[in-house]
Structure 1
Amino acid sequence: MAVSLDVSVSAAFTAEGADRFEVAADLSVADGETLVVLGPSGSGKSLLLETVAGFHDHEGQVAVSGRDLTDASPEERGLGFVFQDYALFPHMTVRENVAFGGKYHETRDPDDLLAEFGVSDLAERYPPTLSGGESQRVALARALAVRPDAFLLDEPLSALDVPTRQTLREVLADVLADETAMYVTHNRTTARAIADRVAVIRDGEIVQVGTPEAVFERPDSPFAARFTGANCLELADGALAVPGGRLDFGDGGNGTHLAVRPEHVAIDSTDADFSASVERVVREDGRYRLALDVSGQRLDAYAPEPPEDGEVAVALPRDRVTVLSA
């Protein structure tokens, strides 16, 4: 059965002793699509997901395949929620946790799901005895057990160590391949790995939506550029000040910023646009990240080897550069 998720909501939340925070979104998730909501801590990602799940009062509408869920309780919405902190019942065994939804819904066989996630040997264990990776696999199995119409995932990998996160990221990509899902995270790598589309959120508002390639390669605001890991340099009259001159990007003087990803900055190119001094060199997974000074602005780039001296030739490929306007 084809399942789509349509969200057009606004909600407000005030924690004890905190200021009122509002979130608004108008999003759609197609059948079998994973929409990743990407943003910094405090941007409203979790509040948005919890609102879709029915945990908060809200204005607007939440619908699954045209079925209005706005007034439905969380358990009536048919959505599988995977929490950041796993939310497993500590007094129940792993098998009992996975089977718990059977009290309210038709469920899949818990032992089949535990086998699918490679944790059959944990069936009689209790959650306090599990590692983070094991707990997350059980939490995912529990969400799958109730055969939800769509998945809502709240940063389920954020508390894991890097190797475990990488492994479970691959598991998630397989699990969500044919499912309808909203996934919130601040992790750019996770977003690029599992998203069919990405929605960037800032201060409770969606500021850009598109394919991972569009959002990461062609951000449409300085915020989106910086948060997705691109360099974002200020322009003056449509030109970038560089050592020894200016680079004109031909936008008629309307551009305020230039965005280019570090991996697209060419180092020691024969067609160099300018030379820049190297401020810092950091090794990252078999390559080196260079922090360059470009007339007082920082430009990050990658190189296979550390530079031999304190200056490198730099080229900015025009087909990889995005000029942003105010």
Structure 2
Amino acid sequence: MSGVDRVEHTASGLRAHIVVEREHFAVDVALEVAAGETVAVMGPSGAGKSTLLQALAGLEPLTAGEIAVEERVVDRVAAPRVRTTPMNRGIVLLGQDARLFPHLSVRENVAFGPRAAGVDARTARASADEWLERVGLPGSGSRMPRELSGGEGQRVAVARALAASPRAVLLDEPLVALDPATAGEIRRMLREQLMGITTIAVTHDAADAVALAERLIVVEAGRLTQSGPVREVLAAPASGFVAAIAGVNRLVGVARDGGWQSGDVGLTSAEAASRALAATDGVALAAVFRPQDVRVVADGDSSDGNRWSATIMRLESTLAGIRVHTTAGQVDVSLMDAAGLEPGAPVRLRIDPAHVRFVPVS
């Protein structure tokens, strides 16, 4: 078998119930990741995402709960107590800092895990060179960590982690410190190299979740608030946070007369599933739509579509023009169309019902 051949795992990948008491709240999250699956984790700053990964890796003690990797319990608080050291869990954690050993060459960094597991030096070094080629750094084994760019350092960190044949990989925002072009390259490399490896990836970027993961779980204030296939979660945000990362408006109201109502604002949807949700008056619903699908119109506009009035709160420059934040949703307009718009001014908005969806509010 080649030093970089993958081992097929037939058991479930990772199953855990993480409970960690923090100063202001407890992180209490149950999750299960199938063997070979990648699950993305997103949530606001301070929500408990990194605590979740630290607990899985054995760097943060559990207050309660249990962690099992491929059906082997590596941490359990209840009797019989189990507490496996981080290095013996079969889990590797990759963070924003590559944390390479500065005194070892790139080759020796990658060979470190196999050698620590008893693989002879020659075989481990040959495997390291194969892994370096796989992550896009052929012939770089003799270089020292100080000679690497940030992106190269992350590639070596990935090679070092996977060379150790982990049962699960944890990613804690490994791309956040990289420039966009480098981050895109590393994202593509991760997608290729993590295929078939049980992975949990914490990220703040929806592009990472879409590119790397099959499923997305959202953690807010230490609790799991939404989960499902990545695109489905982003298309039907259950909270303002998810709406923000998905780049959509999410206005909370109730079903009224087959549509959606909040105060003086009423919207209809052309989608059959949305109309079905709105069939019962009084049901809590959120209206979801993209800022780029909203139009600013004159007071006398009589074109088809949903129309409502709002007040401009602030203007924000974007790459495409101006985002207008109003009391009833966000609107994207061109620089030309933004002329005359200012905070505090009333504005009339319109959107085609085909661009509006209703989602339940739990």
TM-score by length of 2: 0.76
Q: Is the CA contact (8 Å cut-off) linking 1:262 and 1:300 kept in structure 2? A: yes
Cα distance change on mapping 1:38 and 1:10 into 2, 3 Å:
same
Report percent identity of matched pairs.
33
Question: Which amino acid in structure 2 is aligned with residue 96 of structure 1?
Answer: E
Q: Is the CA contact (8 Å cut-off) linking 1:217 and 1:261 kept in structure 2? A: no
1:65 counterpart residue number: 70
Cα distance change on mapping 1:218 and 1:257 into 2, 3 Å:
closer
Cα drift, residue 297 of structure 1: 2.5
Q: Give the counterpart of 2:114 among 82, 90, 102.
A: 102
> What residue ranges of structure 2 are gaps of 5+ in the alignment?
1-7, 76-82, 270-277, 298-302, 342-346
Q: Secondary structure at the match of 2:56?
A: helix
Q: Secondary structure at the match of 1:291?
A: strand
Q: Is the CA contact (8 Å cut-off) linking 1:266 and 1:317 kept in structure 2? A: no
Q: Give the counterpart of 1:252 among 278, 281, 286.
A: 281
Q: State yes or no: 1:299 paired with 2:330.
A: yes
2:21 counterpart residue number: 12
1:16 counterpart residue number: none
Q: Give the counterpart of 1:232 among 241, 246, 250.
A: 250
2:192 counterpart residue number: 174
> What residue ranges of structure 1 are gaps of 5+ in the alignment?
14-18
Q: Give the counterpart of 2:208 among 166, 172, 190.
A: 190
Cα distance change on mapping 1:323 and 1:60 into 2, 3 Å:
same
Cα drift, residue 102 of structure 1: 2.1
- What is the alpha-carbon distance in structure 1 between the residues aligned to residue 24 and residue 252 of structure 2? 33
Q: Give the counterpart of 1:79 among 91, 97, 100.
A: 91
- What is the alpha-carbon distance in structure 1 between the residues aligned to residue 263 and residue 267 of structure 2? 7
Q: Secondary structure at the match of 2:107?
A: helix
Alignment of 1:154-173 (within 5 A): 154-173=172-191
Q: Is the CA contact (8 Å cut-off) linking 1:240 and 1:248 kept in structure 2? A: no
Q: Give the counterpart of 1:315 among 324, 329, 351.
A: 351
Cα drift, residue 134 of structure 1: 0.7
- What is the alpha-carbon distance in structure 1 between the residues aligned to residue 136 and residue 44 of structure 2? 32
Q: Is the CA contact (8 Å cut-off) linking 2:15 and 2:32 kept in structure 1? A: yes
Q: Secondary structure at the match of 1:235?
A: strand
Alignment of 1:17-28 (within 5 A): 19=23, 22-28=26-32
Q: Secondary structure at the match of 1:32?
A: coil
Cα drift, residue 220 of structure 1: 2.3
Post-superposition CA distance 1:86-140 (Å, at most 9, x none): 1111111111111111233256700001111121343222222221101100000
Quick check: which has more Rg, 1 or 2?
Answer: 2
